[in-house]
Structures are given as C-alpha cells and as structure tokens.
Structure 1
Amino acid sequence: MSDFVYGDKVGGNQYKQVGDHNQQTVTHSNGPTRAELDAAVAELRSFVAELARDGMVASDGTVTDPGAVVAAVNSQPGRFQALTRALAGGARDAVLSAVQGGVAALVTALVRPM
C-alpha cells in the first residue's frame, strides 16, 4: 500500500478482493493535513536522533540494539501523538518516505494508531 501527499491531503492505494482478483481503488481521504504530517515527521526525526545519541542507531540508520529501541518506544507512549494520528490517518508510507531507515520503520511499526 503506498501513500502520497498532494496539497493538504494524504491519499493511498487500497486493494479489495473482488471475485478471484484484486481491484485497486485510489482513496483521497481527509487524512492528515500537511501540517499534521510535518509534525509526525518531526516527532519521528527527533526520536531517531535521540536513539542515535544513545547509541541504539548507527550513523547509517541501522538499528544496533532492537530490544532497546522497542523498550524506548514502549516507555514513552504519550510521546508520539502526531505520529500516531498520521499513522491512523493512513500516512505510514508518507512518513517513511520522509524519514528513511530501518529504525524509522521499526518505530512506526511499534507505535499503535488509536
């Protein structure tokens, strides 16, 4: 599933099973606004930078201690409000296109949309 940003909305491809084949529809939802998406990206970048300072992420963005990253995410459930809203609005791929690396994918997988 891929999301894209256009104007102030986020849309995505949605696949539905129709008989014996998949049918693709493009959804332009009232997902996160550009400002909300920017806030989610800023939250994620800030957290990744903190993880790098703490030695959990290498300079190339790879996770050096996955268990510590999981613990860090779980210990701060209220920290990721903008990211949680963006993920719930279907903007996971849009966020990951702005913040690349294994740690970003791991964090977005751990943050649970409401």
Structure 2
Amino acid sequence: MSDYVHGDKFGGDKIGRDKNVQTGGSGNTFRIDNSPEVSPAELDAAVGELRAFVAQLTREGVVAADGSVTDAGAVVTAVRSRPERLGALARAIAGGASDAVLAAVQGGVATLVTALVTGT
C-alpha cells in the first residue's frame, strides 16, 4: 500500500480495488488499497454458497430458523471438515467482501462461518 497526498477530499469505499481510506487528520492524505477486485458474480457465488451452507445446517438442527447457532461445535466441525465447499466465500472474503457478504446473509451463524473461513 502507498500513501498519497491529494488536494481534493475523497469519500466512500468500494469492495475490492482502489479502496479510498482517509489516513490523515487534515482530510487530504489517503491510502490506496489495490486488493483483488471482487466481481458481482463472485459476490453472488459467495452469498449463494453461504446461504446453501446455512440451509444445510438448519436442516441438520445445528442452526435455528432465525439463524442463531444452537451447536457451535457442530458448525466448526462442518466448516473444517470440507473447506472446499466454501471456496467462493473464502475468495470473496480474501478480496475484501466480508461486510457485503454479511450484509446479504445475516445471522449469528453467518458471522461464525465467515470468521471460521478467514481463520479469525
């Protein structure tokens, strides 16, 4: 990452490439984050993958209908037993789209699965 000084003020963020982040108190120093871009199709795939995974966990009784976790240990085991089934989610998170994914798929289990995929 590099810091750039620019005379105009920038506002807002976007997922992926060229994220503008204010780093100076004067309002004119910015860090440009050239992280991999997450396309809309990749984001849709990640959201679909997470929704399907949550639906499966709900059918298995590990997650309640409201998305709350009833058995956290079973969720951890399910994520770690076959990480390849959450590949699109892992790529989207690595590309900086975790907030977008969590905005689309709400609930305690979505937050837990996302944290497990990222290893945090």
Distance 2:80 2:103 in 1: 23
Larger Rg: 2
Distance 1:59 1:30, change over 3 A: same
TM-score, normalising length: structure 1:
0.76
Aligned 8 A contact 1:3 1:92 in 2: no
Letter in 2 for 1:32: V
Letter in 1 for 2:87: Q
Deviations along 1:14-37, one digit per CA (max 9) or x if unpaired, are 465x69xxx775757542100000
Distance 1:60 1:14, change over 3 A: same
Asked if 1:57 corresponds to 2:63, the answer is yes
Instruction: Give, in angstroms, the shift of residue 42 of structure 1.
Output: 0.5
Asked if 1:85 corresponds to 2:80, the answer is no
Structure-2 residue corresponding to 1:109: 115
CA RMSD of superposed structures (Å): 2.9
Count of aligned pairs between the two proteins: 105
Deviations along 1:77-101, one digit per CA (max 9) or x if unpaired, are 1111111110000000000000000
Structure 2 spans left out of the alignment, 5+ residues: 1-11
- More strand by proportion, 1 or 2? 1
Distance 2:20 2:59 in 1: 36
TM-score, normalising length: structure 2:
0.73
Which structure is higher in RCO with an 8 Å CA cutoff and minimum separation 6?
A: 1
Stretches of 4+ aligned residues off by more than 2 angstroms: 2-5, 9-16, 23-30
Aligned 8 A contact 2:20 2:31 in 1: yes
Structure 1 spans left out of the alignment, 5+ residues: none
| 1:75 corresponds to which of 74, 77, 81 | 81
Aligned 8 A contact 1:63 1:102 in 2: yes
Distance 2:82 2:22 in 1: 34
1:4-43 paired onto structure 2 within 5 Å = 4=14, 14=21, 16=23, 30-43=36-49
Deviations along 1:51-75, one digit per CA (max 9) or x if unpaired, are 0000011111100001110011010
